[in-house]
Amino acid sequence: MATSNDIKNGSVLNLDGNLWAVIEFQHVKPGKGGAFVRTKMKNVLTGKVVDKTFNAGAKVEFETVDRRSMQYLYFDGTSYVFMDPDTFDQINVTAEVMGDATDYLLENETATIGSNNGNPIFLELPASVVLEVTYTEPGLQGDRSSGGTKPATLETGKEIQVPLFLEAGVKVKVNTGTGEYLGRVND
């Protein structure tokens, strides 16, 4: 059993049977009273973010999380199959664990999977991915510099807003956290 003084960014804590990943922490020693640790934590299963404060030296239970870079192979109808490129071991990841990652992940792409006791509990994507625009309305002549946007469908089925000048078949860089268009990618 460790104490709250050992909390660091990326630590995973077991609180009341739920796993929480520490996003931010701050050790605070006020002029009056005892020291404490202020944290911002994310539930690894639901994605809910909460602020929690621990007294300095309070006992907390840390969980070991194995993070491995794995290659996405295919969707088998019920779960997503990933393979470890070093050992060729395959694991199935449920749609609940995948969350919004399905909007940005293509076959043969790599993602980081966090496991606890052999069970996948979360999936981390790169900060941005390159995807092809499969459908968008043609831009109107003369609207190329107005800075407006229009909806576009990506090859994964995700719909994002892109500048008016983009056409179908163009590869674009997309932020996986916000779904924002980041720019055009030249092959």
List the domain range (segments joined by +) for residue 13: 2-63
pLDDT exceeds 80 at position 145: no
Confidence (pLDDT) at 33: 86
Same domain? For 57 and 6 the reply is yes
Band (21; pLDDT cuts 50, 70, 90): confident
Quote the tokens at residue 57.
């030296």
Confidence (pLDDT) at 133: 92
Which is nearest to 99 in space by CA: 47, 24, 153?
Answer: 47
Same domain? For 111 and 92 the reply is yes
Same domain? For 72 and 117 the reply is yes
End position of a domain, from candidates 63, 98, 115:
63
Distance CA 105, CA 155 (A): 10
End position of a domain, from candidates 103, 124, 145:
124
Distance CA 20, CA 62 (A): 10
Domain count along the chain: 3
CATH code, 14: 2.30.30.30
Same domain? For 120 and 138 the reply is no
CATH code, 79: 2.40.50.140
CA 147, distance to chain mean position in Å, is 29
8 Å CB contact between 13 and 58: no
Same domain? For 56 and 108 the reply is no
Cβ neighbours for 83, distance < 8 A, ≥ 6 positions apart? 70, 71, 73, 89, 90
**pTM of the entire predicted model:** 0.71
pLDDT exceeds 90 at position 38: yes
Same domain? For 118 and 81 the reply is yes
Same domain? For 54 and 6 the reply is yes
Same domain? For 70 and 59 the reply is no
Confidence (pLDDT) at 69: 94
User: Percent of the chain scored above 90 by pLDDT?
Assistant: 42
8 Å CB contact between 135 and 114: no
| Side-by-side strand order, sheet with 181-185 | 159-163, 149-154, 128-136, 171-175, 181-185
The per-residue pLDDT for range 151-172, each reduced to its tens digit, is 999 999 999 999 888 888 999 9
End position of a domain, from candidates 107, 124, 141:
124
Please report how many Cα atoms fall inside a 13 Å half-sphere around the Cα of residue 56, on the Cβ side.
Answer: 9
Distance CA 85, CA 31 (A): 52
Over residues 116-130, the mean pLDDT reads: 86
Same domain? For 72 and 57 the reply is no
| Side-by-side strand order, sheet with 18-28 | 49-55, 36-43, 18-28, 12-15, 62-63
H helices of 22-107, in order, are: 95-98
Band (110; pLDDT cuts 50, 70, 90): very high
Over residues 61-76, the mean pLDDT reads: 91
Cβ neighbours for 65, distance < 8 A, ≥ 6 positions apart? 12, 19, 21, 114, 115, 116, 121
Same domain? For 77 and 52 the reply is no
Distance CA 145, CA 104 (A): 28
